[in-house]
């Protein structure tokens, strides 16, 4: 059985991951929070590749909702040996301007959401004695970004969870890894002007933003059998910036 559960699958990186895993032979359970149109577009692309795809509306920060959607998806697909946590939110704000509401929102989506989905996925993987969990963090989770303190902290928390969970699940033949993307050409960067994007790209040794498909390629490796001895790792994909 080759089924993958992907959160945030309607976004730029998430949709690229869904299409890449479908091309690798996976059936896809794809979640979205608000962009139903984007999720339906992903479903169409996956089905065009001859794979099954179901989409589910999900707020990953809500444990009850995650439990219900995961149970529904397991009923639809029979279980998942690949989990990709891609749902995420960004915030650019001075630390002194960051509110409690900001903290609850970002921590809920970026960190608690990963915790919630892992808690649902792990029992089945342990029972099967096989599984791959791939968490999408950020280069700022390892490097830290001015005016993105809260975002950086939540992404660092994902890295900590990845490393600890990987060690706990290794005896059950479950690999847990993390990808830390750099500046990727997605809607998340639409707040930047073209001049700001150009200036940022000039700081990157490869002199360009990354493509969502380049993150999806790393996910493809981590989801496959070639990564069976790779666990507790953070793979940074940032064009050499950090």
Tens of pLDDT, residues 174-194: 999 999 999 999 877 777 788
| pLDDT value of residue 231 | 98
**Total count of residues recorded for the chain:** 242
Beta bridge partners of 184: 210
Q: How far apart are CA 84 and CA 121, in angstroms?
A: 10
Over the range 36-67, which residues count as b (16 or more CB within 10 Å of their CB) and which as e? Answer: eebbeebbebbeebebebbbbebbbbebebbe
What mean pLDDT comes out for the span 139-152?
A: 96
Nearest one of 6, 27, 25 to 17, comparing CA atoms:
6
Runs of H (alpha helix) within 63-211: 63-77, 100-106, 113-128, 139-143, 149-169, 194-203
Write the DSSP symbol of residue 161.
H
Apex CA 237: angle with CA 147 and CA 115, to 5°? 70
* pLDDT at 1 exceeding the cut of 70: no
Tens digits of residue pLDDT in 31-53: 999 999 999 999 999 999 999 99
Sign of CA pseudo-dihedral 2, 47, 12, 103:
negative
Q: How far apart are CA 176 and CA 167, in angstroms?
A: 8
Q: How far apart are CA 123 and CA 70, in angstroms?
A: 12
CB-based contacts of 173, cutoff 8 Å, min separation 6: 129, 130, 131
- State the catalytic residues: 151
pTM: 0.96
């Amino acid at each position: 059985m080759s089924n993958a559960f992907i959160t945030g699958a309607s976004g730029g990186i998430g949709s690229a991951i869904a299409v890449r895993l479908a091309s690798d032979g996976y059936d896809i359970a794809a979640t979205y929070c608000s962009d139903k149109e984007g999720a339906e577009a992903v479903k169409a692309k996956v089905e065009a590749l001859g794979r099954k795809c179901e989409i589910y509306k999900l707020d990953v920060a809500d444990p009850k909702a995650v439990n219900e959607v995961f149970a529904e998806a397991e009923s639809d697909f029979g279980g998942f040996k690949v989990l990709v946590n891609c749902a995420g939110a960004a915030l650019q704000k001075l630390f002194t301007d960051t509110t409690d509401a900001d903290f609850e929102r970002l921590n809920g989506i970026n960190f608690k959401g990963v915790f919630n989905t892992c808690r649902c996925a792990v029992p089945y993987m342990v029972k099967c004695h096989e599984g791959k969990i791939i968490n999408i963090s950020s280069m700022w989770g390892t490097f830290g970004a001015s005016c993105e303190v809260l975002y950086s902290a939540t992404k660092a928390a994902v890295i900590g969870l990845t490393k600890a969970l990987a060690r706990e699940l290794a005896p059950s033949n479950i690999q847990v890894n993390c990808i830390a993307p750099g500046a990727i050409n997605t809607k998340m960067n639409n707040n930047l002007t073209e001049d700001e994007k150009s200036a940022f790209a000039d700081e990157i040794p490869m002199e360009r933003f990354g493509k969502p498909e380049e993150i999806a390629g790393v996910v493809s490796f981590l989801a496959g059998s070639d990564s069976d001895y790779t666990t507790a790792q953070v793979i940074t994909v940032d064009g050499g910036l950090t």
